Amino acid sequence: MANVTITSIQQTDTSVMIDWSTDTLAQNSANIYVATNLQNLQAGVYVATGNDNGNLPDMEFQTTVPIAAPYLQSGTAYVCMASCDGTNSQPSSFTTLPDGVYLRNPNAQPRKVAMGGVSTLNVEVRKKGQPEANIPVTFTCPAAAGQLGNPVQGTTITVNTDATGKASTQFTAGTTKGRFQITLTAAPYAANTTHMLVVVK
């Protein structure tokens, strides 16, 4: 009997990508079932074929489930099960990200700066995969690391995202060498926090 396994579940704020495989070549079908509980899996909220657009036989499969009506909802727990030629995997579970804005691609340019040197800190804000303007993003750095803003305003500064969904500020390194973590939070979503690293050398 074939062994069917869900190998990966990856999320963004707009979709969930599920990978599954079988150790025996699937000849006729390769499906994924998603539901809010185990009892409803076979008639789940989402049933997708992962047969590479009909290119069976195969052993590796992938499907992307949208977080949108009438499929998945934001901030909701789901179970999923894969099936190949009638053999089912063990169920797996995941919870979709809550609706809101998400911080993406935090980076410092340059990441390594000399004492007294400057770096530009950037982050992107997305909502349902699209850039979100006028979202306040708060940057906070340790006092030993340096200060933020141009002109310098202190160790905390709040900047609104622009039309492209990007928020930026300037970091000025202090006189202490080391690796420092900058914290970024998108208000009013207090749980939506990310970090970036700067190195003062």
The CATH number of the domain holding residue 24 is 2.60.40.10
Quick one: 54 and 128 in the same domain?
no
Q: CB–CB of 37/93 below 8 Å?
A: no
The one-digit pLDDT tens for each residue of the chain (201 residues) are 689 999 999 887 788 999 999 999 998 888 899 999 888 887 666 777 666 556 788 898 888 888 888 889 888 999 999 999 989 999 999 988 777 778 888 999 999 999 999 999 999 998 877 898 999 999 999 999 999 999 999 999 999 999 999 999 999 999 999 999 999 998 765 557 889 999 999
Distance CA 121, CA 105 (A): 11
Quick one: 108 and 180 in the same domain?
yes
Quick one: 113 and 128 in the same domain?
yes
Quick one: 195 and 109 in the same domain?
yes
Quick one: 90 and 135 in the same domain?
no
User: 61 lies in which domain range?
Assistant: 4-95
Of 67, 95, 123, the last residue of a domain is 95
Quick one: 83 and 121 in the same domain?
no
